[in-house]
Homo-oligomer: A and B are copies of this chain.
Amino acid sequence: MTLAPWRSPLARALHRNRSLVYARYFQLATVCAEGRPANRTVVFRGFLDDTNQLKMITDARSKKAEQIDQNAWSEACWYFPKTREQFRLLGQLTLVGAHCSDASLLKARERSWQELSDAARVQFAWSPPGAPREDTGFDAPPPDPTTPRSNFCLLLLDSTHVDHLELRGDPQNRSIYSFTDEIGWSMQSVNP
């Protein structure tokens, strides 16, 4: 696999914004069954091995997981406050749960679990997210750090369209990266 051409400006943005812990958060939009958009903040967990797929994690009990089963399309919107630039990454999501049939993805899921802090892992032992608030169900002991809980999912975004906007500059700069099976990645400068 070759590095997609948008990986280099994205790596630069991550580096230049590294003092802000929340520069590793972005907003992930999906579409729910009724055709309405859903949008939430997620944490960037790096790239899957030597691919261009962004890694996130999620709980199989969340609405997000249900939505992805019905419509895998997603657009991530990633704003970098320090350098004032935005990446919009459109592509398809893959949810890697406990019953995934791909052994290498299952292994990646296991590694993601092992890389989490205890505080992040214990959330997967909490009461079902989004259900009416319970007073108990939040005092579970830290789960086994080696073997993922069954509701733990690795979530992958495989982008085919990336829109990079730099607000600095007069006028601003905007580049669109597109992937097709025939040509691979291509880039075009567009009006901001």
**Could you list which residues of chain A lie within 8 angstroms of chain B, going by C-beta atoms?**
20, 22, 25, 27-31, 35-41, 71, 73-77, 79, 81, 86, 88, 90, 123, 126-134, 137-138, 170-171, 174, 188-192
Contact = CB atoms under 8 A, between A and B. Distances in A.
A184 to B, nearest CB: 20
Interface of chain A, helix or strand or loop or mixed? Answer: strand
A60 B157 CA distance: 30
A31 B36 contact: yes
Contact of A37 (B25, B75, B86): B75
B126 A191 contact: yes
Contacts of A190: 129-133
Contacts of A31: 31, 35-37
A137 B81 contact: no
Nearest to A138: B171
Nearest to A173: B133
A131 B128 CA distance: 46
A99 to B, nearest CB: 24
Contact of A126 (B38, B133, B192): B192
A36 to B, nearest CB: 4
B79 A25 contact: yes
Given A27-B29, A128-B191, 20 more contacts: A29-B29, A29-B38, A30-B37, A35-B35, A35-B71, A36-B75, A37-B37, A37-B39, A37-B73, A38-B75, A39-B39, A39-B76, A40-B77, A40-B86, A40-B88, A126-B191, A129-B192, A130-B190, A131-B190, A137-B191
